[in-house]
Amino acid sequence: MSTSSRTWFYSKPEPRPFYIEERVNHTLWRNRVQGISMSCLQAENPIKMEGSWNGMPILFEWESGDYFTLRMGEESKEFVAVMRQILLGLKPSFAYQDIDGLYVVEWHVDEGVNRWKEIQGNPQYQGLRRLQAPK
């Protein structure tokens, strides 16, 4: 089965955990992310998944065609680059560290202008930095 983010991010997947897991995991493996298996925690928007990569916690949250959030135990430019490739070149909007100490990267189809205003200056979002200048 050949899948891409078109089947689970750019179009709304069926709200069945197994189908979402299968599509996301196959997309990760096809992009050579080894040693990872994501489990679906919530199959309705926002869709939530968790897993582990090389012993590091990985969490995904997204609303199809709107935003994608990656949370991980530590910053990994390699993993962020692969996720950008998986999201068909969509540039990450911003990054920060959350109150749980996880490194977070958010991608927004609309560049995240409203989300930026929402979280800017909020102490829950440490080291907040914009990765893509709004157009």
What residue type is assigned to position 43 of the chain? Answer: A
18 by DSSP, 3-state: which? helix
Which residue range is the domain that position 73 belongs to? Answer: 5-130
Distance between CA atoms of 81 and 7, rounded to whole angstroms? 20
What pLDDT band is residue 1 in, cutting at 50, 70 and 90? low
pTM of the entire predicted model: 0.95
Q: Is residue 135 part of a domain?
A: no
Q: What percent of the chain has pLDDT over 70?
A: 98
Distance between CA atoms of 75 and 5, rounded to whole angstroms? 22
Q: Is residue 115 part of a domain?
A: yes
Strands across the sheet with 103-108, in order? Answer: 39-42, 47-53, 56-63, 67-72, 103-108, 94-97, 126-130
Model pLDDT for residues 74-102, shown as the tens digit of each residue: 999 999 999 999 999 999 999 999 999 99
Task: Please give the full DSSP string across 96-113, using - where no structure is assigned.
Answer: EE-TTS-EEEEEETTTTH
Q: Is residue 123 part of a domain?
A: yes
Q: Is residue 42 part of a domain?
A: yes
The whole-number average pLDDT for the span 95-117 is 95
- DSSP letter at 38 equals -
Q: How many domains does the chain have?
A: 1
